[in-house]
Structure 1
Amino acid sequence: YYTGHDISPEFSINFWKEQKKIYSGNKTHQNSVDLAFATLFLNRSNMSGIINGGPIGGYSQNGTSQIYSRFNKKTLINKITTISSRKKQIRLTRKNALDMIPMIKKEISPSSCFIFFDPPYFGQGQNLYYSSFNKKGHELLSKEILSLHEYRWITTYDKTKQITDMYQDNNKNFEYHLRYSANNKKRGSAPELLFASPTLKIDSYDKVNLLSI
């Protein structure tokens, strides 16, 4: 794990700005530990974990939560250590999902995998992420996902009519509510959509109640 910085509840918004600069800057830090740390830090200290979402608690840090509230060193170290112990089982490709799905069909048997698709939001995707889809991109993705007839998969989305229409022929479609904190001034229960493959047995768990749609 990264030891180049002393992270504590007292770190300032200036430290956050330094990490944002590393992440958004030139190629000096490309493929470096500094860039890896900046990416991890921004994911943990930004609203909803979105790199482009702005710091938890705002730039003035006068919100009910501050930028360090989701940066638990012990938990993060344990997660990184676990991932490292399984590195021989992990393959990173950086491929677009539209390229990845044909590769999955060719190389991976349906019985040996479970797939979670996490596409950018339809409604606010272009405002929240550096890389997003337009409507046509979401339509193409839905067709590829729905073509995985024998595979076990799940995908989640923000609730929009356009996305519901794209998956209307799927027979395991659900709505659920999730605590939403992309805007720290107003927290609430935002409806989300979950689509699952016909081959997957799925049920509600803990505080997430799935309602069939």
Structure 2
Amino acid sequence: MRAAAGVWRWRHNPLRRTTDLVEAWVALISVVLLALAVPTAGWISAVRTDASLQRTVQAQQRLRQPATARVIRLADTPASGFTSPDPAGEQPLRRSVVARWTAPDGTARTGTVTTRRELADPGDSFRIWTDRSGRPVAPPMPPETAHAHAIAIGLLTAGLTGAFVEAARRGVVRRLVHRRYRRLDRAWDKAGPDWGRTGAGS
């Protein structure tokens, strides 16, 4: 990591400039932030995201109930909602069917839902999820999926925080370098006309 390279500027020597000392402080602060603030930001973000997602999971588990649907026939039109627990990447392997199931209140319901192709023949049964009124809904999010999303958010937050710290360090160092160049230009403008002349101290 280049941020630590500025630490050598702590050394006492007659050529050390004020900007060198400032750059050393910037490097030290950057190292501390990268070591402490970055993982802390990622951890806090992951914990808060996981808590929020777990509340969502619990709410979905309370409001959504599993039911067994039985295929009546193939549907003429596609199902209007995603009701199968299969991964979204398996959508081409599903069929829309007209099925019958029992709502949480005990009433029989009939509607168009999706199921795997091997369970699309009349008489086949499969599991769906319904809301309290018996309408098909997507299955609740698994707790493991919520944990995975929270970890991903935490890593993303840590990465963005680290990038911000490094960008800030580079910005400060760039300004310091420009300041050194301006001072060097002014010194050269002052000494340049007498450079190499006898008695000019060259």
Structure having greater relative contact order (Cα 8 Å, sep ≥ 6): 2
Task: Report the TM-score when normalising by structure 1.
Answer: 0.18
Larger radius of gyration: 2
Higher helix share: 2
